[in-house]
Amino acid sequence: MGFLKWVFLILVLCVFGPVTVLSDSTVITDGLSKTPSEFLEFAKKQEVFDWMVEIRRKIHENPELGYEEFETSKLIRTELEKLGIPYKYPVAITGVIGFIGTGKPPFVGIRADMDALAMQELVEWEHKSKIPGKMHACGHDSHVAMLLGAAKILKEHEKELQGTVVLVFQPAEEGGGGAKKILETGVLDNVNAIFGLHVAHNLPLGEVASRPGPSLAGSGFFEAVISGKGGHAAIPQHSIDPILAASNVIVSLQHLVSREADPLDAQVVTVAKFQGGGAFNVIPDSVTIGGTFRAFSKESLSQLKQRIEEVITKQASVQRCNATVDFLENEKPLFPPTINHEGLHKHFQKIAGEMLSLRKVKELQPLMGSEDFAFYQEKIPGYIFFLGMEDRTIGRLESVHSPFFQINEDAFPYGAALHASLAAGYLSEFHQEVPSQEAKQYHDEL
Ligand SMILES: [Zn+2]
Ligand SMILES: [Zn+2]
């Protein structure tokens, strides 16, 4: 090479040397032969895409409610076996935990929920739910398909993984606290970090949204029976009217957020159920009310819980009624707020930014909805993000939990590649920080 060429090369290096795009990608994928964008290319391959779509449609046709996902779980296990991925089953009744990598630390989890909702699908299409009154209206069918997509990508690169990826197929996200049950088995005890995603109907395809810190609210449910004394509606002096008492209870409950909570600390109390009476001229014996409460910190949530009980029982007694309050924690455990780990937020931005470009990595506004992913985050540094599906050229999508909810399957390669890149990148980046332990088998470690 001539002198001038050397001078030119040195100048180029001086000018462009500090540009961090390239050096970032080498840090992210240290030890991996593929970058996040190459994972995306792989996931977009026709055969990989078609395979994910086929899995999702099968699950969509046969939706199963929380802790009843037996067929879904079987389908997952069959696919894992075909891919040569070892797994543990059953975990928390229908859950499946798969393992890819060295079998040694660090361990990084990627999670999909599997359950459907008790509602009738109203979308007319070839793969409509075949089970009346049950529907995948929250996209968990797509979550499973994308996690299997990630498994396929990671298995292809298993030799390059610098630790172990733990695939978490969990039951019962919709109020059943499946995440809590998975944790109670101890199967994730050695996991160092966990990632999750949720499809978003109103975020453009190819974009993602998330934020560090509190992202989704914690939530609880309550049901109260307010008892009085029934009688003739025309002679109220001989009755104790639980309808009037319940009405006052509901009004008083509305003061908890408006008068007791910090206006800068978002909270909700909603009474969504009111059942009592059946005739125009009879005062009933009792009334049942129920609802939900939400907040962004555990403290605010437990404060609301305590005050809801006090307000219901004490306000009912003003009208000479008795009240009992049930927080239904066996069937619907209190969900903690979803709090995204700050360090993992940086990792997510690097990976997603490299794959999609930083302008497609959006900041999420906190949402009052809740996610049982929060249970993992109480024990393990965790991070959840939203995956865009909206394609305006096709039309607007309905929100999750709508009977008209639809999935844009074109989002699958993005979800699969992000899951795979977040996990593989995490292992590359953090494998030196986790104290090395003696090599053991999967079942000993986990
Ligand atoms: Zn849902
Ligand atoms: Zn969901």
What confidence tens digit (pLDDT) does each residue in 115-139 have? Answer: 999 999 999 999 999 999 999 999 9
Span from the CA of 198 to the centroid of ligand 2 (angstroms): 6
Spell out a b/e string for 198-220, using b for 16 or more CB atoms within 10 Å of the CB, else e: bbbbebebbbbbbbbebbbbbbb
Nearest to 46 by CA among 418, 415, 412: 412
Residue 29 has pLDDT above 80, yes or no: no
Residue 185 has pLDDT above 90, yes or no: yes
Find where tokens 């937020």 sit.
Answer: 345
Residue 10 confidence (pLDDT): 40
Q: Looking at the CA of 338, which ligand is closest?
A: 2
Residue 331 confidence (pLDDT): 86
The pLDDT tens digits of the residues spanning 239-264 come to 999 999 999 999 999 999 999 999 99
DSSP string, 381-412: -EEEEEEEEEBTTTBPPPPTT-TT----GGGH
Span from the CA of 400 to the centroid of ligand 1 (angstroms): 6
Both 39 and 172 in one domain: the answer is yes
Both 73 and 209 in one domain: the answer is yes
Residue 431 confidence (pLDDT): 81
Q: Looking at the CA of 119, which ligand is closest?
A: 1
What gap in Å lies between CA 129 and CA 102, rounded to an integer? Answer: 39
Span from the CA of 278 to the centroid of ligand 1 (angstroms): 33
Both 212 and 226 in one domain: the answer is no
Cβ–Cβ < 8 Å for 64, 71: yes
Identify whether 201 is part of a domain: yes
Residue 78 has pLDDT above 80, yes or no: yes
What gap in Å lies between CA 401 and CA 407, rounded to an integer? Answer: 12
Pairing of strands 107-113, 87-91: unpaired
What gap in Å lies between CA 167 and CA 107, rounded to an integer? Answer: 10
Span from the CA of 312 to the centroid of ligand 1 (angstroms): 29
Both 272 and 399 in one domain: the answer is no
Identify whether 75 is part of a domain: yes
HEC sequence for 80-117: HHHHCCCEEEEECCCEEEEEEECCCCCEEEEEEECCCE
Span from the CA of 172 to the centroid of ligand 2 (angstroms): 10
Residue 443 has pLDDT above 50, yes or no: no
Span from the CA of 373 to the centroid of ligand 2 (angstroms): 10
CATH number at residue 123: 3.40.630.10
The pLDDT tens digits of the residues spanning 142-184 come to 999 999 999 999 999 999 999 999 999 999 999 899 999 999 9
Residue 35 confidence (pLDDT): 87
Both 434 and 407 in one domain: the answer is yes
Identify whether 15 is part of a domain: no
Q: Kindly state the average pLDDT of the residues 318-331.
A: 96
Q: Give 103's pLDDT tier (boundaries 50, 70, 90).
A: very high
Predicted TM-score (pTM) of this structure: 0.87
Q: Looking at the CA of 400, which ligand is closest?
A: 1
Q: Kindly state the average pLDDT of the residues 48-53.
A: 98
Span from the CA of 174 to the centroid of ligand 1 (angstroms): 6
Span from the CA of 135 to the centroid of ligand 1 (angstroms): 11
- Beta-bridged to residue 169, according to DSSP, are 96, 112
Both 298 and 314 in one domain: the answer is yes
DSSP-derived letter for residue 258 is: I
Q: Per the structure, how many domains does the chain have?
A: 2
What gap in Å lies between CA 120 and CA 134, rounded to an integer? Answer: 6
CATH number at residue 262: 3.30.70.360
Both 157 and 268 in one domain: the answer is no
Both 159 and 224 in one domain: the answer is no
Identify whether 13 is part of a domain: no
Residue 302 confidence (pLDDT): 96
Find where tokens 């540094």 sit.
Answer: 381
Q: Looking at the CA of 198, which ligand is closest?
A: 2
Residue 317 has pLDDT above 60, yes or no: yes
Answer with the one of 304, 326, 348 that is the final residue of a domain.
326
Spell out a b/e string for 429-443, using b for 16 or more CB atoms within 10 Å of the CB, else e: bbbeebeeeeeeebe
Q: Which residues contact 414 (CB under 8 A, 6 or more apart)?
A: 40, 43, 205, 206, 208, 355, 356, 387, 388
Span from the CA of 132 to the centroid of ligand 2 (angstroms): 20
List own/partner pairs for 48-52 with CB under 8 A and 24 or more apart. 48/149, 48/152, 48/413, 48/416, 49/409, 49/412, 49/413, 51/149, 51/152, 52/145, 52/146, 52/148, 52/149, 52/409, 52/412, 52/413, 52/416
Both 275 and 259 in one domain: the answer is yes
Residue at 203: amino acid letter: L
Pairing of strands 107-113, 193-204: parallel
Both 155 and 82 in one domain: the answer is yes
Answer with the one of 272, 292, 326 that is the final residue of a domain.
326
Q: Looking at the CA of 141, which ligand is closest?
A: 2
Span from the CA of 138 to the centroid of ligand 1 (angstroms): 5
Span from the CA of 116 to the centroid of ligand 1 (angstroms): 8
Cβ–Cβ < 8 Å for 102, 164: yes
- The domain of 266 spans 219-326
Span from the CA of 156 to the centroid of ligand 1 (angstroms): 32
Identify whether 406 is part of a domain: yes
Cβ–Cβ < 8 Å for 40, 413: yes
Cβ–Cβ < 8 Å for 96, 89: yes
Span from the CA of 439 to the centroid of ligand 2 (angstroms): 36
**What mean pLDDT, rounded, does the chain reach?**
91
Cβ–Cβ < 8 Å for 95, 73: yes
Span from the CA of 211 to the centroid of ligand 2 (angstroms): 18
Find where tokens 């997603």 sit.
Answer: 352
Identify whether 134 is part of a domain: yes
Residue 435 confidence (pLDDT): 56
Span from the CA of 320 to the centroid of ligand 1 (angstroms): 39
Identify whether 69 is part of a domain: yes
Residue 372 confidence (pLDDT): 96
Span from the CA of 369 to the centroid of ligand 2 (angstroms): 10
Residue at 276: amino acid letter: G
Q: Kindly state the average pLDDT of the residues 306-333.
A: 96
Both 423 and 437 in one domain: the answer is yes
Strand extents, DSSP E, 276-321: 282-283, 286-295
Nearest to 332 by CA among 196, 173, 111, 186: 173
What gap in Å lies between CA 389 and CA 408, rounded to an integer? Answer: 5
Both 41 and 187 in one domain: the answer is yes
Identify whether 293 is part of a domain: yes
Span from the CA of 193 to the centroid of ligand 2 (angstroms): 21
Answer with the one of 326, 347, 369 that is the final residue of a domain.
326
Span from the CA of 137 to the centroid of ligand 2 (angstroms): 8
Q: Looking at the CA of 373, which ligand is closest?
A: 2
